[in-house]
Amino acid sequence: MDYVNLGRTGLKVSRLCLGCMTYGSPQWRPWVLDEEASRPFIQRALEAGINFWTKFVSMQPQYNLVYREEEREMLPFCLNEGVGVIPWSPLARGFLASDRKRGEKGATTRASSDPFADHLYNRDADYAVKDALDAVAAARGLAPMQVALAWVLSKSAVTAPIVGASKPHHLDDAVAALDVKLTEDEVRALEAPYQAKPVLDHT
């Protein structure tokens, strides 16, 4: 596991942060894992060297290939001021990891029971970005989620994206993405289809 400074806080943190929205009570959402089911993921995160287990001051924006509005002001500000950035939803609530097509519902329990995801990521331009992601991933022989995560990790303002895990391979795939280095041409191909959006995550 790689470790980096969290802005100018003096803290050294792992290059990935395990998100815990997937863990808690299935009574809240059917895709949530209860305490017993979540323990192996916490253990695996610790074994992998993930160490985000303390409070700190930083910026936690939504940031991924299909939602890049923070690039306008917030990320440059954080970079200039030395503020740590730990973005949530680097895979767009699974949209960038799925094989979902235009007009279709996702096949997973999460996709079929998360209406907020449809609110955030269901525009034609989002699918154009997904098409570009799939093309780059296929050319590299990688899973789309690894390329999408590698893109977030390539941004100098980002300290560590928050990754979720509800299946055993999710954490291992995320850790493997740390070794994926994208070329400038790949980054341009991934970013080209993006279209500006209104603020979507504060309502």
Token duo for residue 171? 């954490």
Residue 18 CB neighbour total at 10 angstroms: 25
| Per-chain mean pLDDT for the chain | 87
Give the model's pLDDT for residue 144: 96
Instruction: State yes or no: pLDDT of 56 exceeds 60.
Output: no
Question: Is residue 104's pLDDT more than 80?
Answer: no
pLDDT at 196 over 60: yes
For residues 56-84, average pLDDT = 89
Arithmetic mean of pLDDT, 187-193:
98
Residue 66 pLDDT > 50, yes or no? yes
- Cα-Cα-Cα-Cα dihedral of 75, 19, 117, 87, to 10°? 0
Domain edges within the chain: 3-191
Nearest to 30 by CA among 18, 39, 20, 22: 22
Q: Which helix (H) or strand (E) holds 40?
A: helix 35-48
CA angle 17, 150, 10 (to 5 degrees): 40
195 Cβ contact partners less than 8 Å away, ≥ 6 residues apart: 123, 125
- Residue 60 in contact with residue 44, Cβ under 8 Å? no
Whether 201 has a pLDDT exceeding 70, the answer reads no
* Backbone φ and ψ of 38, nearest 5°: -85, -20
Q: Which one is predicted more confidently, 10 or 45?
A: 45
Q: Please work out, in degrees rounded to the nearest 5, the angle formed at the alpha carbon of residue 123 by the alpha carbons of 122 and 129.
A: 95
- The CATH classification number of 3-191 equals 3.20.20.100
